[in-house]
A and B are shown apart, each in its own frame.
Chain A
């Protein structure tokens, strides 16, 4: 087993996903199979090889720190599931 049920539950918590018991079972099996499959990468000799984060090797793409046009708040707030004044509104954080 590459991955256990308990780990799947833990990952779901990290990913902020609610999974039903059936989904946890299904994903345990499916993820296990996928992880077994990708485990073949172990075979590849990669000592001293630099990881590729993105293919163009661009780094630190800056722009001038100058004020420019932006979308206004009202426009942005049109998509809010709930709002109050200029704020996005959400339920509060409870206990833990």
Chain B
């Protein structure tokens, strides 16, 4: 029996009924990594020994008749900007190439508590700055559906690992689309929670008012199960919300009758015809299933990307100031003065990182702060208000996740502005702080996955999951896997 490409539910059933041991499950996934990661390169670090050791301990506990957590033994991967105690956490940067965190991120603590098994840490665009994982200082990750294509970014490794069956689920982070866009490119489910729903403690910060950690899975049920473990207030994150999401598996019913779906017209303006067509077919399906589907306008959409490319780099430039070579990370050892040491950090940052730090520093600098950063924050208020207005009338908003399917490796690297365009449909969501999910709805004529984005109101993850669950039951994309390996 093939043990990879199974759902959380199927695996936990097999384990609980003693049809397989946890060691067998872990071995199957480590073998899968061996078989395909040479081509895909999703992993920066593979935690072979740690995974086998934990599997051993859990199997022994089972033998002793102890009861285990519901997710015990499930193989997972974490994006390499999420701190794992004792396991190298690099942010795919030379700056943190040797960094071993002395603590776990809160989300890691929660998953450890659920007894999952970490197969490894996955590749990302350096410090999460990017939309293709090509900005990794180490190597690019390849899309399992076609290895000449990007997996998306910045959580490209996390998405590819799940799509290729190397792990059952993974964690990514999303600041401007970095969970949803790779999920769309890799044909899987990815959710960016409401801002504040999941603790950011232990996530290496990119833009503190935009970042969220979220799950990448092969089906909607697994997504809900993961969210139940991840969400919740955390005293270590002062931006975490006390508002509870409730048991999200209770939202999983295949019924959209009476649900009001808004379709933001502005999101379709630069979308590839094949993607737009597939999305329209799904909207037709929703109507047949009893939903009320209507066009809506979010008038400030065209300014979202602009506001984002001021706010995000500004916050990033501030957040990356901590990499000053004092307490951790790379240090330029030939420095003869403190200033030389500080400046020497440049040796460990890639070009996109330096570019965003420069842009961020500029827009925050004296004389420019009001014209750029403050202005962008005011526009942000208007973008957020567009969503609030829409959600007064609609239960969810639906759009393509990305304007195109996965583009070829190397295509956009020389042109930062072209690269930024792939964030068009995802960025407004982060600015407003609302939750959004991407799910696969089909393949284009080249066999590349197309993603649908479902956006909900603050803390309305349940509504999003319900619509996604309903569509998934009809489309059954979880049955399709890339031909890799």
Contact = CB atoms under 8 A, between A and B. Distances in A.
Contacts of A54: 195, 208-209, 239, 433
Given A19-B354, A54-B195, A79-B327, A40 B417 contact: no
A95 B336 CA distance: 11
Contacts of A17: 343, 345-346, 349, 354, 357-358
Contacts of B241: 56, 58
B324 A49 contact: no
A15 B335 CA distance: 17
A38 B310 contact: yes
A71 B378 contact: no
B328 A81 contact: yes
Given A18-B344, A55-B458, A79-B99, 8 more contacts: A15-B358, A34-B417, A41-B379, A51-B378, A56-B239, A58-B238, A78-B100, A80-B327
Interface in B449-470: 458
Contact of A71 (B102, B238, B340, B432): B102
Contacts of B329: 79, 81
A81 B344 contact: no
B365 A11 contact: yes
B416 interface: yes
Contact of B195 (A46, A55, A61, A81): A55
A93 interface: yes
Q: How large is the interface on B (under 10, 10 to 19, 20 to 34, 35 or more residues)?
A: 35 or more
A82 to B, nearest CB: 7
Interface residues of A, number: 51
B381 A51 contact: yes
Nearest to B209: A54
B336 A94 contact: yes
Interface string A36-65: 011011101010011111111010010100
23 contacts: A11-B358, A11-B361, A17-B343, A18-B344, A34-B309, A38-B306, A46-B378, A51-B378, A51-B381, A52-B378, A54-B195, A56-B239, A58-B239, A63-B235, A78-B100, A79-B99, A81-B328, A82-B331, A88-B326, A88-B327, A90-B326, A94-B336, A94-B339
A87 to B, nearest CB: 11
Contacts of A14: 361, 365
Contact of A46 (B340, B349, B361, B375): B375
A55 B102 contact: no
Interface string A62-82: 010000000100011011111
Contact of A44 (B336, B382, B458): B382
B146 interface: no
